[in-house]
Structure 1
Amino acid sequence: MTAHDPHSVGRNAKPFLHGPEYAAVTEALRIGQWGHNTATDAFETELADFLGVPDVVAVSSCTAALHLSLLLAGVGPGHEVIVPSQTFCATIQAILMSGAEPRFIDINADTLCVDSAAVLAAITPQTRAVMPVLYGGRPISLADIHATLDRRGIAVIEDAAHAFGSRLDSRKVGATGELTCFSFGPIKALTCGEGGALIPRTADEADRARTLRLLGVPQSQAARIRTTSYAVDTQGWRYHLSAVHAAIGRVQLARFATVETTRRNLWRTYVQQLAGIDRVALVDVDVERSVPFNCVVRIPVGRDRVFENLRDKGIGVGVHYPPNHLQPAFARWSRPLPVTETTARQVMSLPFHPDMTEDDVAHVVSMLARAVTSSRADGDR
């Protein structure tokens, strides 16, 4: 038996801290301006430098980033947004927050992401945006259909919640010219505790996003405290990223190379360990271009029994995600999606986070092999 850490293998994902975050948060608290301040501005500048983009707008969550991006793209009531069902429900909730409706499409069985053919087939006169989800950190491109989308006035808004640090060709995700949204939630490769960011396409979009994230007030906090009044130009939301969360993010960003390398090495260890296990197929990712977010395997028969067995043994497996077109809240937009529905019955996420060791991986894979064998003995075929 390997010398695994029960606490490590018992978590499907967990936050990873480098250490200096504690001092950074303490300093942010000491300064006293805990809302949006110069720390948030500095984080935005550093993110823009890292990604190779002109501007970044930091917000309170990826959901907020998606919502604002939809508004920047002119999406609203009477419009449809093409979106995969295979995603976290936040993606769909952001569409509904804009007043638009989701038009669910199927995924590619190999990548668990959408492809251009599925997008083209789903376009209707009401389509105003397509929202590809970069599942597991996989960079994807709809460049081959951009001419068609542009001609019809359809924006591309990338849900890159899983994909911070991944690359498409020589460019980082976020620098591809699309409206792109990141998550800096607790278990992401880069975390602020909670937070997110959107990459605007133009300077005007950046200005509008900053107004919308601060309750429709175009003046910065620094400008407001120097005057007796301020203007509220439009409806807005309290979507800014706090200085406390930005302080965490700045430490994380400065040390991102460590997490990037660790996640890629962890993925390679799983690839080696999973090789040859009967009835288990790894959902592949191009680890040279991607910063892997999770490790997903496909178990064609008996997935639920294997899942329960591993959970009973203290292994933190998960399912990402139950299809949204089958959720009660989204039932009115449901349509047959055979690949998504089959995939949802087969996929399972193994524990995957930077604190894991090779011994932890070996233990998880050993328990997985036993669970698959046990499932077969119990009659799953």
Structure 2
Amino acid sequence: MNLTAASPDVARNARPYLYGGEAAALTDALRAGQYNHGPVTEEFEQAVAAYLGVPDTIAVASGTAALHVGLLAAGVGPGHEVIVPSFTFCATIQAILATGARPRFIEVNPGTGCVEPSEVLAALTPHTRAVMPVLYGGRAVDLTLARPALDEQGVTVVEDAAQAFGSWQGERRVGATGVVTCFSFGPIKNLTCGLGGAIVPRTPLEADACRRLRGLGIVGSAARRAEGTTYTVDGFGMRVQMSPLNAAVGLVQLQHFHEAETRRRELWRAYAAALDGIDGIDGIDGVAVVDADVDRTVPPLCAVRVPDGRRDRVFRALRDRGIGVGVHYPPNHTQPAFSPWYRPLPVTERLGQEIMTLPFHQHLTPACADHAAGELRRALTGASR
């Protein structure tokens, strides 16, 4: 049996899913001739804000830029610490370092990949200025139990919600829970702009700060500058606006987001059912996959844990069989670039040795999940010999 031919999409790494209107929208934006920042970007910001049920969002060039700008707008800078899980993409840590602050790495719950309030509270120091929970697998992180202590110390919660657009925390969407929230709209996210990100600010003043930071510190809009003879730069800023070209793609994607929610939950549930009872996959309380809380989450991935030192053998076997598995993520506290802030984190270190993500994108069907799970079963049998 030719496995790749039988189910070609499982051989591919996650890739964008387009609904058909993106090309026309992009062509219209190209013809408009305004590529740096313009009305289409502002329309996208308003549409995202309306979808989330918040007053405002600020679109930027990438999810990493969203984290950087969000931290700066929250007052994070040199001499500060940011509490952050080591179990995340390295962009999270690079954004912290870009502010001049330093990361203070903490453990995650191995069953969810997310931080717990108790770990956050245990890591607080007099230098802590922000906590950056990472919403792994799109799952919301509720730090309510830690909030009194954080508020007393003036610590801001800046969510890395790169994977969590569309997910819920209680009765509200992620982004509408009263903290600074940063999204990514990269190529393989739940909603793609091709490349892009957004920040949900807490106040109008914070929104103004984010807009100045993304636009070279210049006060006022580009339209207002075009009508005057000068402009004012009142502080540090970067050139990280979202192009109208990217915003045009995002607007089409947002119109179809209900389909993304439905298909991604369906695929995750198909994996969970197909993986149930497979020997050699470790979880918490018998759960075969890392728990995404799928009823309230729009999942961007499906992760499993392969114990007993077999992950790498299983990974190679699946890649050889045409199954596009990945590893999300190697722990950051063991990376050479972040070695000055190393702390022993045995839970995260073990998780980093066991974690593996299965093919997951909207081109896949439940039948593809069954196929990939069957190949995982075969690979585990081979790795046990």
Shorter-chain TM-score: which interval?
over 0.9
SS of 1:187's equivalent? coil
Please name the residue that 1:345 is paired with: 353
CA contact (8 A) 2:4 2:322 kept: no
Residue 276 of structure 2 aligns to which amino acid in structure 1?
A
Between the aligned partners of 1:255 and 1:205, the Cα distance in structure 2 is 30
Matches within 5 A, 1:336-375: 336-375=344-383
CA contact (8 A) 1:6 1:314 kept: no
Between the aligned partners of 1:35 and 1:80, the Cα distance in structure 2 is 33
Segments ≥4 residues shifted beyond 3 Å? 1-7
Unaligned runs of 5+ in 1: none
Unaligned runs of 5+ in 2: 282-287
Structure 1 position 36, deviation (Å): 0.5
Matches within 5 A, 1:13-162: 13-162=14-163
Structure 1 position 199, deviation (Å): 0.4
Please name the residue that 1:276 is paired with: 277
Aligned match for 2:294, one of 274, 287, 296: 287
Please name the residue that 2:176 is paired with: 175
Between the aligned partners of 2:182 and 2:73, the Cα distance in structure 1 is 12
SS of 1:325's equivalent? coil
Give CA-to-partner distance per residue, 1:21-65, whole Å, 9 cap, x none.
Answer: 000000000111111000000000000000000100000111111
Between the aligned partners of 1:186 and 1:207, the Cα distance in structure 2 is 28
CA contact (8 A) 1:12 1:349 kept: no
What is the percentage of aligned positions where both structures have the same residue? 58
Matches within 5 A, 1:118-267: 118-267=119-268
Query: What's the TM-score once normalised by structure 2's chain length?
Result: 0.96
Structure 1 position 16, deviation (Å): 0.7
Give CA-to-partner distance per residue, 1:319-347, whole Å, 9 cap, x none.
Answer: 10000000000001001001100111111
Structure 1 position 11, deviation (Å): 2.0
CA contact (8 A) 1:108 1:115 kept: yes
Farther-moved stretch of structure 1 (220-229 vs 18-27): 220-229
Residue 29 of structure 1 aligns to which amino acid in structure 2?
L
Query: What's the TM-score once normalised by structure 1's chain length?
Result: 0.97
Coordinate RMSD, CA, aligned? 1.2
SS of 1:282's equivalent? coil
Between the aligned partners of 1:163 and 1:196, the Cα distance in structure 2 is 12
Between the aligned partners of 1:356 and 1:230, the Cα distance in structure 2 is 50
Residue 139 of structure 2 aligns to which amino acid in structure 1?
R
Structure 1 position 359, deviation (Å): 2.5
CA contact (8 A) 2:328 2:357 kept: yes
Please name the residue that 2:285 is paired with: none
Give CA-to-partner distance per residue, 1:301-360, whole Å, 9 cap, x none.
Answer: 211100010111111111100000000000010010011001111110000000002232
Structure 1 position 5, deviation (Å): 5.4
Equivalences, count = 377
Residue 275 of structure 2 aligns to which amino acid in structure 1?
L
CA contact (8 A) 2:185 2:194 kept: yes
